[in-house]
Amino acid sequence: MPVKIVEIKNVSVRYGGVEALSGVTIDVEAGDYVGIVGPNGSGKTTLVRAILGLVPFEGKILFGGGRRLFEFTSGQHIGYLPQKMSSLDQRFPATAMEIVVSGVYCCKRFPKRLTHEDYMAAGEAMKALGVEDLAGRNIGKLSGGQQQRVLLARALVHHPRLLILDEPTVALDSRSRESFYSTVEYLNKQQGVTVIIVSHDLDTVRKYATKIIHLDREVLAA
């Protein structure tokens, strides 16, 4: 019997009396590659924020067989890649390696000190995404596609079971976008990572996703 890794049950979100989501119900099974599509303002990012516990909501969101968010994330199970930053100062004082290894902080107890093993894990994540040669370069001086691969490595450094991507390719050119989607497909099919990806680009998502959810404040089709 398929294992439900996320159960979204009748979830609604309101901002100042305006309903951003209305009665959304979605099941995501382990190994799924779920594309959530819809027009701007349809509630896609709001749904991601609700899943991550970043906004209050009505209804229930359960993980991995009925656990709450804290119980699931405490087991290092979620990786998250937010929307691409519109701009990044070239002088931003961090290397690609420093960005990737920072992804382990969410899973550490106080005091949060990085170890040799953490840097080894970061190196492996970068190697898996083909950006190991960028380790010493300033993140602000990388191309948009390189930055997104580095940020994806950061989301994967602690080996999550669930990867959530919110409009991850909006700032990428067509070649970088296809490469990025192919990488995510590899993680899903070859490494068994469950994927939820938010996008307004139905044509591209349709090529890769195993399930597509059409959202416009409520689920229109699934």
Q: For position 172, what pLDDT does the model report?
A: 75
145 inside domain: no
- 126 sits in which H/E element: helix 116-128
200 inside domain: yes
Q: Give the residue, 198 or 129, on which the prediction is more confident.
A: 198
What range does the domain containing 14 cover?
Answer: 1-76+196-222
| Residue 90: pLDDT band with limits 50, 70, 90 | low
Asked whether 61 and 45 are in contact (CB, 8 A), the reply is no
* Mean pLDDT for all residues in the chain: 85
Strand order in the sheet with 162-166: 78-81, 162-166, 194-199, 33-37, 211-215, 219-221
Give the DSSP letter of residue 111. S
> Whole-prediction pTM value?
0.84
> Residue range 157-162: average pLDDT?
87
56 inside domain: yes
pLDDT of 212 above 90:
yes
Q: For position 75, what pLDDT does the model report?
A: 47
114 inside domain: no
User: pLDDT digits over 171-186, tens only?
Assistant: 777 887 888 888 889 8
pLDDT of 220 above 60:
yes
- 174 sits in which H/E element: helix 174-191
164 inside domain: no
Q: Which three-class secondary structure state does DSSP give residue 98? A: helix
181 inside domain: no
Q: Give the residue, 21 or 66, on which the prediction is more confident.
A: 21
Report the CATH number that the domain containing residue 221 is assigned in CATH: 3.40.50.300
112 inside domain: no
Number of domains, the chain: 1
